[in-house]
Amino acid sequence: MLPANAEKLTDPTSIALAQQVQIAEINAPLAPSPVSTAYVCQGSGEPPIVLLAGFDSSLLEFRRLLPLLAAKHQSWAIDLLGFGFSDRTQSPVFSPDAIKLHLHSTWQQLIDRPVVLVGASMGGAAAIDFALTYPACVEKLVLLDSAGFAAGPAMGRLMFPPFDRWATAFLKNPAVRRRISLQAYCDPSFVTPDAELCAALHNELPNWSEALIAFTKSGGYNFLRDKISQIPVPTLIVWGRQDRILGTQDAARFQQAIACSQLTWIPDCGHVPHLEKPDLTASALLAFMASEVDGLR
């Protein structure tokens, strides 16, 4: 199911998650045939947790967090339409609306009960959009250093030939990806060869460039800013104190905008608390799930 280079993974958490990747054929109204959708499911216990990875990432992003959550809850990591290891050849569109529709179809066919929806970075924006449209599907929301307030990539202006191919080739360059990884962590020792392979493995699948171009040309999640205050479910905001990708100001903005929310800071941590501080992130998430939240729900 994964590219051949998956055999080069060396970290036990990476190997374990890669070996558990499954494919579901999801019938979604946006495509004439089922969309092959990558996911991992571990554990048992209610309510289920669904994890959504960030921009140009995959479910391998949750290799350290997922097992900790699965010890108490059924936990899913699902690759969004156009991202990760989900098929990019079966859908004609890769916009936020298409991503949301595909995720809802996946939820219906695999889970079909309210979940705790967890989104990291751009996955947080996708989770917000989903919760706003399908509130009955979401019991609680967790945002990990989430996009939503921050503007999306400006490269959308360049997404026409030949600049679109040059932009994605630039993003695929190992040196560029390494610089991004070094910026994402507070502790650079986390940027190992295994971590770099996890971050790039999905780039080897067909239509990676085409899907990335199509999503970027759609404008991404830049429309969310004025809708965040409408989030109808209790929300936990988890943020790395040393986030150098999105900064730290948006953490407080989310807390102020969402009526029923709480903010947890993760110390000595960058943009990816689920990778850099998985124990603290899991503890915050599980405590939030166990708490009785006064307010909207």
Instruction: Note if 102 is an active site residue.
Output: no
- Grouping H, G, I as helix, E, B as strand and the rest as coil, residue 207 is coil
Contact 262, 284 (CB under 8 A): no
Contact 176, 268 (CB under 8 A): no
Annotated catalytic residue: which of 102, 243, 250, 261?
Answer: 243
Contact 211, 87 (CB under 8 A): no
Instruction: Note if 112 is an active site residue.
Output: no
Burial degree of 116 (CB within 10 A; 0-12, 13-18, 19+)? buried
Contact 194, 200 (CB under 8 A): no
**Which residue from 166, 156, 152 is spatially nearest to 124, judged by alpha carbons?**
152
Contact 116, 90 (CB under 8 A): no
Instruction: Note if 243 is an active site residue.
Output: yes
Annotated catalytic residue: which of 73, 202, 271, 274?
Answer: 271
State the Cα angle at 251 between 242 and 214, rounded to 5°. Answer: 90
Annotated catalytic residue: which of 105, 121, 146, 218?
Answer: 121
HSE of 253, CA atoms in CB hemisphere, 13 A: 15
**Which residue from 119, 155, 179, 148 is spatially nearest to 249, judged by alpha carbons?**
148
Strand segments (E) across 114-184: 115-120, 138-144
Contact 120, 96 (CB under 8 A): no
**Which residue from 81, 131, 69, 132 is spatially nearest to 106, judged by alpha carbons?**
81
Angle, helices 12-19 vs 193-200, to 10°: value is 30
Which residues have a catalytic role annotated?
121, 243, 271
